[in-house]
Amino acid sequence: MAIAAGNSFGTRDKLNVGAQSFDIHRLELLEKKIPCHLAKLPFSLRILLENLLRCEDGRFVHPDDIRALANWTPGAAEKEIAFMPARILLQDFTGVWNISRAWFARCPREAELRRIPIPLSARIRTRRW
C-alpha cells in the first residue's frame, strides 16, 4: 500500500533491506514530536497508530486522531478513528481443518466429500461460533 501524502509529525523514514527500499513510519520519532508514552500502549494500539500515521491524509485521518490515539489511556473518552488495513490476515487456531483431514485419512470411503467445493462465503458464515 502506498503511503498517503500526510506526514505531520515527520515520522516517515526509509527502511533498506538488501537492494529494496521501503517507506515506513517510525513510532519513536512520533514520541519525540508529541508528549506520549508509546511503550505503555498495548501492542494492538501501536499497530493502529502506525496505520493512522501511514494513512494520514487530512480527509479521513487527521493529526488530532493520531494525537488522541498516542495519548490513549484506559478509561479515557472514546474517539472514533479511521482504520484502513492494507491486508487482512485470517488465522485458524481451532484446528478444525486438521481434525477433518485426520478423519478423512481414516475413512477413505468418504473421500468424495473432500472434493465438494465449499464457497468461501459459506465457510465464513459457518465458522462463526
27, 70 in Cβ contact below 8 A? Answer: no
> Which residues in the chain come in under a pLDDT of 50?
1, 122-129
41-67 pLDDT per residue, tens = 998 899 889 989 989 988 899 999 999
Cα–Cα dist 7/107, whole Å: 59
Looking at residue 123, what is its pLDDT? 47
Number of neighbouring beta carbons within 10 Å of residue 18: 5
Residues 76, 112: Cα–Cα separation, whole Å: 55
